[in-house]
Amino acid sequence: ADGLAARGTFTEQLQAQRDLVKASDEYYQLADKRYRTGVDNYLTLLDAQRSLFTAQQQLITDRLNQLTSEVNLYKALGGGWNQQTVTQQQTAKKEDPQA
């Protein structure tokens, strides 16, 4: 049940983080323009860049957590990984590319 509930939570969290990345990128672009025109100092630009990188890194971490949670849910529901089956499927595709 926790895994199923987490799916909705991760979707909301990822969207919020994407919004933060977008806002951070806009802030960085604005800080860059302000620096290039001499309105602001370089420290402000660096701070905006740091904020953007932090937001992007958190988005990647959130996505990794979502995928890990999905794999754990799949395993809990009885799914698994069978390397032999995957190898057989790949071999069949190579032998018959129309399959």
Q: For residue range 38-89, what is the model confidence (pLDDT) as tens digits?
A: 999 999 999 999 999 999 999 999 999 999 988 888 888 887 666 665 566 6
Token pair belonging to 39: 């309105």
Q: Domain count for the chain, please give it.
A: 1
The pLDDT value given to residue 75: 84
Domain range holding 35? 2-95
The pLDDT value given to residue 85: 59
For the ranges 6-15, 24-33, 64-73, the maximum mean pLDDT occurs at 24-33
The pLDDT value given to residue 52: 99
What crossing angle do the helices spanning 2-36 and 42-76 adopt, rounded to 10°? 160
pTM here is 0.73
For residue 91, report the phi and psi dihedrals to the nearest 5 degrees: -65, -40
